[in-house]
Structure 1
């Protein structure tokens, strides 16, 4: 599903301090793809064929060569393998959904896959390692599109199972942050939304579980999913047309996604991306109107607001997250400060 850009503001009374350091990437593209590899390397992508790369933790962002015939494509997802190799996914109707790959630090790109279904729309691309990856698309011909590669994107094989069956008028995935899908031990899970409600679909065994997110409208549901190998997981979303509404914007699981419960204290509005900081056992979620954190595996959330030395909007206008980076509209990029998620005494 295509998600339009929404910019809103909201102030919260109860908040933690320390925040994002805003970086300048010298672009006005709307950014929704971000993948941090660590060791100061990260890649980002967005509208108008935009791809960015940094090797110094965002002090400088390189503007990559635009892939062939991609000047008007919207690159919603990016997965990088090192400082030279990455695959980008564009989202759009039919053959506007494509995959390109670079192996020379984005000097050149090769088209490796194009959507052949005129009714298709790709939503998320995720790799577990250098070889195993999954590609998710909205339902076509009565079933979600889910394809797998085991050779780094050279070839793709579409998955077929009755558990993937869905009515496109009732269910769809959201291409808001490239995080509506999670992969673990070679198995994919992904989230959905729409007037039929929010669900998580899981492989091995194939199954689906309803998730208490959104309000069963076309613009609401599950927008981002993160599952840990130990069982806990978090899903966030809501209604992107009502970004200030906080009910049913987060849910949690303790059994790998088989069962879900609503968060007791929700984030302060619609959220498009969620990630887990393992060293300090803290979840962080972002959206157009703010940033929230949870230290109890998604049961309760509190706002992470700017410190007195930050710009007043440092917590807002975000689309996608790959710690320590966050990206948003108009070329907006933030780097999470080292002490932002530290326990407060």
Structure 2
């Protein structure tokens, strides 16, 4: 009997120990390996899917790593395109299922599935900022208002057709409210949940619980009021925990009210690390498997890391990038002006 009780006690202690929350790492450095370098290269759209990395440029070029290694090559799809990809300024990219989707800024807006033109919008005010997918069949892209609401187009048939939502079905945009095509991270998706970050004179979060069928809008305390202020990037770790970053790219060292966090799915937001670094950043991403504690923010002023959900930050590098995506909890790929690089984070 004593032996049985002792075993139960030991099992209980072991169980309690296994349920202790994992202590966040303390990343102290980042190693940067340049994989593709060209003075004419300008990349704000980068995605990773099943280990493959795809990047789209401001000149309409598409690069991808070959054979699951770090060698990048062209993928222009000249042999199948109906409308030449060249001379399109791609700021939005999605690598979903068997296809790479690219979406240009400016008018006319053009969305390609591989090399095939699938959506065309000739409107002087058209300017699309970001694109993402819920699954292989359903995807979304968002852009600046052409009427009195944000532009949102959705596919439900694997990218074959895209439909623009009516402003009757969306929250009305406020004067000066738009979005930034800075890093293709204006949209964050967790399951059926979707968050869209707007910016400019007004910076709010549009939220859909049902893959874009219905929408709500939430105010944020991030800096706003000018065309160059607001959220530039948003990311969610799960249905509750999210983070957004931005500021004013014309004043990149300003650190007031440019980092905000939510713990209730985006309904309310709080400013964190106010008056402390980093300043303006164009992209923020949660580190995978970090229990919503570890974040990396990047911009043309460098790379920063937090292991306490954004309360404090460590500046890791002055190397500038526009956008970043994680392959795992230690390796990421980043891109910007002139290069695509592999980033390895170490304690």
Q: TM-score w.r.t. structure 1 length?
A: 0.82
Residue in structure 2 matched with residue 32 of structure 1 by the alignment: 44
Cα deviation, residue 136, structure 1: 0.4
Residue 165 of structure 1 deviates from its aligned partner by 1.0
Q: Which residue of 1 aligns with 2:226?
A: 217
- Tell me, which stretches of 5 or more residues in structure 1 are unaligned? 1-14, 103-108, 306-314
Partner of 1:12: none
- Cα distance in 2 for partners of 1:128, 1:293 equals 28
Within the alignment, does 1:89 sit opposite 2:100 as a pair? no
Q: Is it true that 1:320 corresponds to 2:323 in the alignment? A: yes
Counterparts of 2:58 and 2:87, CA distance in 1: 7
Alignment partner, residue 17 of structure 2: none
Mean alpha-carbon deviation: is it higher for 185-194 or for 17-26?
17-26
Displacement of 1:209: 1.6
Please give the secondary structure, in 1, of the residue aligned with 2:337: coil
In structure 2, C-alpha distance between the alignment counterparts of 1:244 and 1:264, rounded to whole Å: 14
Q: 1:59 to 1:162 in 2, by over 3 A?
A: closer
Aligned pairs, number: 304
Larger Rg: 2
- Given that residues 228 and 256 in structure 1 are in contact (C-alpha distance below 8 angstroms), is that contact kept between their aligned partners in structure 2? no
Matched, 1:23 2:38: no
Cα distance in 1 between the residues matched to 2:176 and 2:322 = 24
Out of 191, 196, 202, the residue aligned to residue 197 of structure 2 is: 191
Q: Alpha-carbon deviations, 1:192-223, whole Å to 9, x = none?
A: 1112x311111246322222223421011111
- Within 5 Å, which residues of 2 pair with 1:103-182? 109-160=115-166, 161=168, 163-167=170-174, 169-182=175-188
Q: Per chain length, whose mean CA-contact separation is higher, i.e. which structure has more relative contact order (CA < 8 Å, sep 6+)?
A: 1
Q: Distance in 1 between matches of 2:159 and 2:151?
A: 16
Deviation of 1:25 (Å): 4.6
1:227 partnered with 2:227: no
CA offsets per residue over residues 254-291 of structure 1, 9 Å max, x none?
A: 01111001112544221111111222442111001011
Q: CA deviation at 1:162?
A: 5.7
Which sections of structure 2, spanning at least 5 residues, go unmatched? 1-26, 327-331
Measure, in 1, the Cα distance between the counterparts of 2:259 and 2:178. Answer: 18
Report the CA distance between 1:20 and its aligned residue.
Answer: 2.4
Once superposed, what is the RMSD of the aligned Cα atoms?
2.1
How many angstroms apart in 1 are the aligned matches of 2:259 and 2:241? 14
Query: Partner residue of 1:3?
Result: none
Where 1:30 maps in the other structure, the secondary structure is strand
Q: Which runs of 4 or more aligned residues in structure 1 lie more than 4 Å from their structure 2 counterparts after TM superposition?
A: none
Inter-partner Cα distance in structure 2 for 1:285 and 1:295: 12
**Could you tell me which residue of structure 2 aligns to residue 106 of structure 1?**
none
SS at the partner of 1:237?
Answer: strand
Distance of 1:88 and 1:152 partners within structure 2:
14
Contact map agreement 2:96 2:133 (CA 8 A) in 1:
no
Distance 1:299 1:163, change over 3 A: farther
| Cα distance change on mapping 1:59 and 1:280 into 2, 3 Å | same
Q: Please give the alpha-carbon distance, in whole angstroms, between the structure 1 residues aligned to 2:321 and 2:30.
A: 16
CA contact (8 A) 1:149 1:155 kept: yes
- Cα distance between partner residues in 1 of 2:319 and 2:205: 27
Distance (Å, rounded) in 2 between the aligned partners of 1:111 and 1:334? 29
* Partner of residue 80, structure 1: 95
1:234-313 correspondence runs (5 A): 234-264=243-273, 266-281=276-291, 282-305=294-317
